[in-house]
Amino acid sequence: MTKVSISILDCDFGNITSEIKKINENKVDFIHIDIMDGKFVENNTEKLFDLNKISLLTDLKYDIHLMVNDPLDKIDSYTKYNPDTITIHFENNSNLMASINKIKKHKINVGVAINPDTKISEIYDILDEIDIVLVMSVNPGQGGQRFIINTVDKVKALNERKNKNNFLISVDGGVNNTNSKDLLNAGADILVSGSYLVKSNNLNHSIKSLLIH
Ligand code: DX5
Ligand code: ZN
The one-character DSSP state at 208 is H
Domains of the chain (ranges, CATH numbers): 3-210 (3.20.20.70)
Question: Could you give the CA distance from residue 180 to residue 211 in angstroms, rounded to a whole number?
Answer: 7
Contact between 210 and 177 (Cβ < 8 Å)? yes
pLDDT in tens, 3-25: 999 999 999 999 999 999 999 99
pLDDT in tens, 144-194: 999 999 999 999 999 999 989 999 999 999 999 999 999 999 999 999 999
Name every protein residue with a CB atom under 6 angstroms from any ligand 1 atom: 7, 9-10, 32, 34, 65, 138, 140-145, 172-175, 192-196
* Most informative mutation of 39, 62, 142 for ligand 1 (most atoms within 8 A of CB): 142
pLDDT grade, residue 213 (50/70/90)? Answer: confident
Catalytic residue flag (residue 50): no
List b or e across 68-80, with b for residues whose CB sees 16 or more CB atoms inside 10 angstroms: bbbbbebbeebbe
**pTM of model > 0.95:** yes
- Summary mean pLDDT of the chain: 98
